[in-house]
Amino acid sequence: MASDPLAIPRLTGQTIRWEKRQRRSDLSIKGKAYIAGAYEHPTRKAPDKSIAQLHAEVAKGALEDAGLTKADVDGYFCAGDAPGGAMAMVDYLGLKVKHFDSTDTGGCSYLVHLGHAAEAIAAGKCSVALITLAGKPLTAAPPPRATGAEHDFEVAYNATTHNIYGMCAMRHMHDFGTTSEQLAWIKVAASHHAQYNPHAMLKDVVTVEDVLNSPMISDPLHRMDCCVVTDGGGALVVTTPEIAKSLKRPLVRLIGQGEAIKGPRGGEALDLTYSAGVWSGPVAFAEAGVTVKDIKYASIYDSFTITVLMQLEDLGFCKKGEGGKFVADGNLISGVGKLPFNTDGGGLCSNHPVNRGGMTKIIEAVRQLRGEAHPKVQVPNCDIALAHGTGGLLGVRHAASTVIMERV
C-alpha cells in the first residue's frame, strides 16, 4: 500500500505546523477580490497570429467582459508562456502597473496568479489585476522545461508528460487496483460535455471502449487518456469588491486559495499516488470555510485522466484509492453524476492552450457561477465552485493550486 502523505514523519511535522497555524481572518483573501472579467480565446489553431498578439487579444476580451479598459489595469500577472516575461509584456500591451508577478509553475500558474492577485488586491497593492495566458504549440514548440540541480541526474531519461503521468497511473493501479476502464470514464464524461461546446477541439462523444481501443501511448495511458494540444489562450480580470459591484457582470468572488510544491525530496518515501493537492486543498478549504460537500461544480486539470483521478482523491472528494470507483459510471457528467466537472470539455476534449490547463479551468468555473455555461451542462444553483490544477511533471516535480470561488 502507498504511504499516507500525512503519516510520513518528516512531512507530518511540517504539515501539522503548517496546517495548525492559525489563519487570522483579517489576513485572509476571503471575499476581498472578485473575478470581474474572464475570456477564453475561441481559436484552437492560430498560425496567422503571434504569441504576444494572442495575449493582447485575450487581455482585451477579459477587460471587455468586465466592462473595464486597459487604462484601469494596475496589476499584471503572467507565466512562462508570455514572451519575454512581465517586463516585455507590460511594454508590449502598453500597460502601466504598480504590481506584477511572473510566478511560473507550469499549467497551474494561473490558479496561483489568481490567489496572488487577490493577495495584492487585499493588501492594496493594486485594484485591477490582469492575468494572461496564450501560446501556439501547434505552430512552434514551446520553450523547453526549465531544469534545476537535478539536470545531470535526470535529463538523459527522457521524462515526458506522457511517461511521467503513466508512471503515476501504473503505481496507482498497483496500489489500489484502479483500472483503465475507470480512467476512461473521465474522458467519457469530458466528451459528453464537449459535444455542446462549439469551440471544442474534439466534439464527439466517446465510450469507455473507444478509450481502451485507442493506441497505447505510454503504459497504461492510451491516446484518449491524454489531453489535446491547442493554440489559444485566456485571461482574467481580478478586482476589488467596490469596483466589481460597480460593474454590470454577475458577482463572483474568491473565498479561498492554496498552493504547494511536491518533488522526490531526495528519494525518501517516494509515493507517486498523491499530488501536492493534498496540501493546497486543505489550505483553500480552510480559508473558504467550506467542505467538499459544498462544491457544486469542480474544474479539475485534466492533462491526463490519471491527473483528474488523483486530484479528486487529494482534494477529498473521495478517499485515497477510491478515485476509480468515484469517477466511474458517469459520476462526473453534469446532470447525471454527483460531481459535474470540466463542463466545457476540459483539456481532454476542448482546449489546452500551450499545454497549460489552469486558466481554462478558472474560466469555466466562472461561467458556471455566473450561470453562463451551456444550458445543457449548466449546474443548477451553482453558488460555490472549485478550480484546481497541477503544473510541471506530476511524478517528478510539480506544483498544485486550489481556488474556491463563490457567487455573491
Partner 1 sequence: MSDKPKLPSPQGNPESKPFWDAATQGKFLFKRCNACKEPHYFPRALCPFCFSDQTVWEESKGEGKIYSYSLMRKSAAGPYAIGYVTLDEGPSLLTNFVDCDLQTLKIGQRVKVVWKPTDGAPLPFFTPI
By beta-carbon proximity to partner 1, the closer residue of 159 and 286 is 159
Binding mask 331-370 for partner 1 (x = CB under 8 A): ----------------------------------------
**Cα(255)–Cα(123) distance, integer angstroms:** 15
154: contact with partner 1 by CB under 8 A: yes
Residue closer to partner 1 by CB (options 170, 359) is: 170
Per-residue mark of binding to partner 1, 3-22 (x: CB under 8 A): -------x------------
DSSP 214: S
Q: Measure the CA angle with vertex 277, ends 273 and 282; round to 5°.
A: 125
At its nearest, how many Å lie between partner 1 and the CB of residue 266? 3
Which residue from 46, 54, 68, 168 is in contact with partner 1, where contact means CB under 8 A? 168
With binding defined as CB under 8 A, does residue 268 bind partner 1?
A: yes
Torsion from C-alpha of 273, 276, 279, 285, nearest 10 degrees: -100
Q: Which of residues 376-395 bind partner 1 (CB under 8 A)?
A: 395
Q: What is the DSSP letter of 177?
A: -
Kindly tell me which residue out of 96, 245, 265, 319 binds partner 1, with binding defined by CB under 8 A. Answer: 265
Q: Is 270 among the residues that bind partner 1 (CB under 8 A)? A: yes
295 binds partner 1, rule: CB under 8 A: no
Cα torsion 89, 91, 97, 99 to 10°: value is 40
Quick one: which of 403, 407, 401, 354 has its CA closest to 378? Answer: 407
| DSSP codes, 279-338 | HHHHHHHHHHT--GGG-SEEEE--SBHHHHHHHHHHHTSS-TT-HHHHHGGGTTSTTTSS
Query: By CB under 8 A, is residue 144 in contact with partner 1?
Result: no
CB nearer to partner 1: pick between 343 and 355: 355
Q: What are phi and psi of 167, to 5 degrees?
A: -60, -40
Question: Is 167 a binder of partner 1 (CB under 8 A)?
Answer: yes
> By CB under 8 A, is residue 260 in contact with partner 1?
no
The only residue of 58, 62, 63, 170 in contact with partner 1, by rule CB under 8 A = 170
Q: Residue 41 gets which letter from DSSP?
A: -
Cell of 32: 476581498
Using the minimum distance from each CB to partner 1, give the nearer residue, 2 or 138.
2
Distance CA 267, CA 206 (A): 39
Question: Quick one: which segment of 242-250, 261-269, 291-299, 316-324 binds partner 1 (CB under 8 A)?
Answer: 261-269
Q: How many residues does the chain have?
A: 408
1 binds partner 1 (CB under 8 A): no
CB of 272 to partner 1, least distance (A): 6
Binding mask 201-230 for partner 1 (x = CB under 8 A): --------------xxxxxxx---------
The verdict on 158 binding partner 1 (CB under 8 A) reads: yes
Distance (Å, rounded) from C-alpha 347 to C-alpha 50? 22
If binding means CB under 8 A, how many residues of this protein chain bind partner 1? Answer: 39
Cell numbers 508570455 correspond to: 82
Q: Cell triple for residue 11?
A: 512531512
| Contacting residues toward partner 1, per CB under 8 A | 10, 149-160, 162-164, 166-171, 174, 215-221, 264-268, 270, 272, 395-396
